[in-house]
Amino acid sequence: MNLLEVNNICKTYGSGETAVHALKKVSFSVPKGEYVAIVGESGSGKSTLLNMIGALDTPTSGEVKIGGMDIFTMDDRKLTVFRRRNIGFIFQAFNLIPELTVEQNIIFPVLLDYQRPDKKYLEELLTVLNLNERRNHLPSQLSGGQQQRVAIGRALITRPSLILADEPTGNLDTQNSREVIALLKETSKKYEQTIIMITHNRSIAQTADRVLQVSDGVVADLGRCRE
């Protein structure tokens, strides 16, 4: 069963002669639990595509269905809640909340829902992410690799079905990059989550189940890599 369906997505910035077509009738689908890497040149439309899938931006035309639900038919309020509960984001620049501790950063999406975090699951995540001893530290007291692990924890805390990562290793060294990717794969497998990740790193892309290439706003399926 497909978790994500992208149908004829177009995104145009500006109009008339100055119009820029960032995405041109993009269509693809991703089954549940699949790990997809998106590659492409800078400015090819990778981030625009990820923004559309994550409902951070709206397409000019076309639809995005997550779990069978057309996300752009929802109003802004519902969409925010949907994003909070169903999509986990991992950014290149980590984007942690500087005023919150490691533990608070991880449970942040749960707190936004005015719910109590599942303590057992939180402990499990802290252990898996090897952040147990750092749980009361502020982001400014962590290394880049540790900050990205916190971001992964934040993306996983609501048990989302879809995780979107935009160059999660872009700010990390090789060793940390390898660890973060291994962790992402391990957790997604454990919690049966679908991952869509933008990367410039060919070797990281090759670890994915499938690779999509974006070029001038057009998506090409490069097929499966791991077999």
Q: Which residues pair with 5 in a beta bridge?
A: 29, 65
CA distance 189 to 115: 26
Gyration radius from the chain CA atoms: 17
Coil, helix or strand at residue 68: coil
- Helix (H) / strand (E) element for 69: namely strand 69-70
Residue-level length of the chain: 227
Coil, helix or strand at residue 148: helix
Residues 101-160 touching another protein, rule: CB under 8 A, are 101, 104, 108-109, 111-114, 136, 138-140, 154
- Give me the 168-207 binding string for another protein, x by CB under 8 A, dash otherwise: ----------------------------------------
Q: Are 225 and 211 in contact (CB under 8 A)?
A: yes
Q: Which is nearer to another protein, 57 or 225 (CB)?
A: 57
The stretch near another protein (CB under 8 A) out of 59-67, 99-107, 171-179, 214-222 is: 99-107
Q: Which is nearer to another protein, 31 or 61 (CB)?
A: 61
210 lines the binding site for another protein (CB under 8 A): no
Binding site for another protein (CB under 8 A): 47, 50-51, 54, 56-57, 76-77, 80-81, 83-85, 89, 91-93, 95-101, 104, 108-109, 111-114, 136, 138-140, 154, 166
